[in-house]
Chains A and B, each alone.
Chain A
Amino acid sequence: MAINLSNVHFSYPEHPKSPVLNIQSWSLTKGEHAFIYGPSGCGKSTLLSILNGLLCSNEGNVTVLDQRLDKMSRRQRDAFRAKHIGYVFQQFNLIPYLNAIDNIRLAHYFGKSVSTSSLNKEITALLTTLNMPEKDWKKPVRTLSIGQQQRIAITRALINKPTLFIADEPTSSLDKGNTDSFMALLMSVIKKYGITLLFVSHDMSLSQYFNRVESFTDINSEEAFQYAN
């Protein structure tokens, strides 16, 4: 099992009386590519934060890659996230003043998986696979287009050879053409490295890329419509 949730409850400490998540049971098998759709503000990102260990559920069993996140300390979760989970956000995936290579190196620094000697080769290989022109590697990423930035984000998420890849609306700031090429690239590298993918979006048109499609409202039985923040 890549992910196994049972009886997970969560509410923000600032609003303890308005629960955001109530998940009875949900799981994701290794190698699966799952697409979860739902309107924005329904708690999708909150769930993802729990899955990558930034937040801790109030109660319930959160197992990711056969490890109990709810039993780990904050420090352990930070290390776990850096090492095993590749994460791509909606936007602001990269430190704007660092260049592509430095951004990737930074992720590697926190993950500490690949030996440093082969790191440059890895980065070069990944950036080439993701069609990044070499002249853009050393530019601060803020000078690059959003499409390019999202591609660097994939590279950054892959540098530590994650077992689980989580994408949180990564295409919402891209236009149709860029979205298609982003999805094609993402799916090809995911398949190539055999990574489990959890993809969250409100854009139903992306469901064509996935073999498992679910509505977030079917997973989360918390009826009331909650705003995460």
Chain B
Amino acid sequence: MLINIAMKSLRDRKGSVALSIMAMTISVFVLLSVEHIRHQTKENFANTVSGVDLIVGARTGSLNLLLYSVFKIGSPTNNISWQSFNTITANPKVKWAIPLSLGDSHKGYRVLGTTKQYFEHFSYGKKHRLAFKQGKAFTGIFDVVLGAQVAKKLGYQLGDQLILAHGIAKTSFSLHNDNPFKVTGILAPIGTPVDHTLHVSLQSIEAIHHDGKFTPLSNALEHLQPKSITAFMIGLHSKITTFKMQREINYYTPEPLLAIMPGVALSELWQTMKILENTLILVSILVLISASLGICAMLLSSIRERNKEIQLLRGIGASPFFLFRLIALEALFILAMSIVLSTGILVTILVLTQDYLASSFGVQVSTNIVSLGNLYLVSSLLSTSVIIAMFPSIFGFIESKKNTLSE
């Protein structure tokens, strides 16, 4: 009976109820999506690199090194010598090493000079290896392996030829015209900066910077040893030796070097995003508060409008507690409805924009919005709803106790 009356009374005031549900839906939606995207971005960042124990580069800030080596954001401060790379990786603690050479680009996409080790040891997410969608790793000097987005955006197929440019600007005047590259492999999409990278061998980086036309026949790969690289990643036999190795590299005398642990640097990076994150949460909480106050106001004014109805219910024997429950139920229905609606809208929007987000922002957003954070959020929203519903209900309770049969 109670539910029946509550539903019919809400339906009777559909206009204002619909508006309240809309206002609340929008604010809950903002709150949920901010939380979801925040969570996803954080996960994305953390997933960009895994299984790498140390990243080594020229002495700079740890964030800077992380950004240019892993995220391909910003420019390297300095190169490090090939000699240092060899000396350090010769250390018995080192299991594997991936040299990284940056500085060239193709139509705005960064080119990474590396070795085959990259495809064997570099991993992302929960220690997933890179996988080839088509083709295989580079073998020749002028072979290139494309990240998934590069191939998709620029429409390259296996066997296509492309020309690299010097520098990282989208339009470069200095093209390495003489030496076109051939696409030998395309990587499967993984939602990290790897998707936006072209991979070539270290030797080809040397080759294209070689003056004049380079003839592959006259020079074997071994003769194109690089003199310097930008950075390198290393994996150790034992995790326990990480700190020791880091110290050794940081105290390496022939050249000033910096070794960072990716996990530590990633969390530092996340710390710097904290202000933005908190601002987003604060804004969504403010939106939520204003919507809650709106609903309170709506319900309170509806109680004034329904004064006669309350009097009548009292007249036919309804207790003030019944009226309290009636009003609380109506408020809870509005709020529950909003939570359900906003969750639905969020999932729909995520499904629809997933590809767009991945291709335009490189953010792989999962459509599964069930996370611990969101569960906390929804349960705290529900308890807030109960509090919000309480105000008008108490008001209705007090109103209904007053004299009722006025003339």
Residues in chain A within 8 A of chain B (CB atoms): 12, 40-41, 45-46, 48-49, 52, 54-55, 74-75, 78-79, 81-83, 87, 89-90, 92-98, 102, 105-107, 109-111, 140, 156, 168, 228-229
- Whether A107 contacts B319 by the Cβ 8 Å rule is no
With CB as the reference atom, state the residue of chain A lying closest to B316. Answer: A107
Q: In the complex, what residues of A have CB within 8 A of residue B316's CB? A: 81-82, 87, 106-107, 110, 156
- Whether A87 contacts B5 by the Cβ 8 Å rule is no
Distance in Å from the Cβ of B62 to the closest Cβ of chain A?
66
Distance in Å from the Cβ of A16 to the closest Cβ of chain B?
14
Question: Beyond the given A41-B407, A102-B8, A228-B407, could you list 6 further A-B residue pairs with CB under 8 A, ordered by the A residue number?
Answer: A54-B404, A54-B405, A74-B401, A89-B312, A97-B8, A110-B318
- Whether B312 contacts A105 by the Cβ 8 Å rule is no
Q: What string of 1s and 0s marks CB contacts (under 8 Å) between B309-351 and chain A?
A: 1011111111100100000000000000000000000000000
| Size band of the interface chain B makes with A | 20 to 34
B403 on interface, CB distance cutoff 8 Å? yes
Q: In the complex, what residues of B have CB within 8 A of residue A140's CB? A: 12
B174 on interface, CB distance cutoff 8 Å? no
- Whether B1 contacts A106 by the Cβ 8 Å rule is yes
Q: In the complex, what residues of A have CB within 8 A of residue B319's CB? A: 75, 78
**Complex Cα spacing A64 to B5, Å:** 31
What are 23 A-B pairs with beta-carbon distances under 8 A? A12-B403, A40-B407, A48-B405, A49-B405, A54-B315, A55-B403, A74-B401, A78-B314, A78-B318, A81-B317, A82-B317, A89-B312, A96-B309, A97-B12, A98-B5, A102-B4, A105-B1, A107-B316, A110-B316, A110-B318, A110-B322, A156-B316, A229-B406
B9 on interface, CB distance cutoff 8 Å? yes
- Whether A45 contacts B11 by the Cβ 8 Å rule is no
- Whether A229 contacts B312 by the Cβ 8 Å rule is no
B304 on interface, CB distance cutoff 8 Å? no
B127 on interface, CB distance cutoff 8 Å? no
Distance in Å from the Cβ of B268 to the closest Cβ of chain A?
60
Q: In the complex, what residues of A have CB within 8 A of residue B313's CB? A: 95, 106
Q: In the complex, what residues of B have CB within 8 A of residue A228's CB? A: 406-407
Given contact pairs A98-B8, A102-B8, A109 touches B405 in the complex (Cβ within 8 A): no
Q: In the complex, what residues of A have CB within 8 A of residue B406's CB? A: 45, 228-229
Given contact pairs A102-B8, A106-B1, A54 touches B314 in the complex (Cβ within 8 A): yes
- Whether A110 contacts B11 by the Cβ 8 Å rule is no
Which of A83, A98, A102, A106 has the most chain B CB within a 10 Å cutoff? A106
With CB as the reference atom, state the residue of chain A lying closest to B2. Answer: A109
B308 on interface, CB distance cutoff 8 Å? yes
**Complex Cα spacing A168 to B315, Å:** 12
Q: What string of 1s and 0s marks CB contacts (under 8 Å) between B393-407 and chain A?
A: 000000001011111
Q: In the complex, what residues of B have CB within 8 A of residue A102's CB? A: 4-5, 8
Given contact pairs A98-B5, A102-B4, A102-B8, A107 touches B404 in the complex (Cβ within 8 A): no
Q: In the complex, what residues of A have CB within 8 A of residue B309's CB? A: 92, 95-96
- Whether B317 contacts A83 by the Cβ 8 Å rule is yes
The answer, among A49, A97, A107, for a CB contact under 8 Å with B9, is A97
Q: In the complex, what residues of B have CB within 8 A of residue A83's CB? A: 317
- Whether A49 contacts B403 by the Cβ 8 Å rule is yes
Which residues, 88 to 118 on B, are CB-close (under 8 Å) to A? none
With CB as the reference atom, state the residue of chain B lying closest to A14. Answer: B403
